[in-house]
Amino acid sequence: MSELEIRTRDDRTAFLPGEELAGTVSWQSDVEPRPVELRLFWHTEGKGTRDVKVVENISFSVPGRQDRRDFRFQLPDSPYSFSGKLVSVVWALELVLVSSGETERLEIVMSPTRAEVALQHE
């Protein structure tokens, strides 16, 4: 079993569209963890078909069994994080040890207010 961690700068989890999202990832694995990837993505939750969009992917070259790497993403302008009655959009970072399939996920919020947009239910 491996240990994986995602840490954003200042442990922030709420961001503005277009803002820089930076931090570090680390892992400790019993086997060679090749390859290791960090994905910035959003997905929908709720009723209907689930949509997933990987916005950007970083592949870490020559990862060691125990390693720590810096990362930096430029967030896009949309879609905003939101929660509705039927569907929600959730942003996240996911660290993946591809060879073993092990993952660690950190959910983030991206909107003009740095808060999830709550759609009104009528």
Every domain of the chain and the residues it spans: 3-118
User: Can you give the pTM of this predicted structure?
Assistant: 0.93
CA distance 21 to 72: 6
The pLDDT assigned to 111 comes to 97
pLDDT tens-digit readout, 81-114: 999 889 999 999 999 999 899 999 999 999 999 9
Residue 18's Cβ-side half-sphere holds a number of Cα atoms within 13 Å equal to 3
Thinking of the domain 3-118, which architecture would CATH place it in?
Sandwich (2.60)
pLDDT at 87: 93
Query: Helix or strand or coil: residue 9?
Result: helix
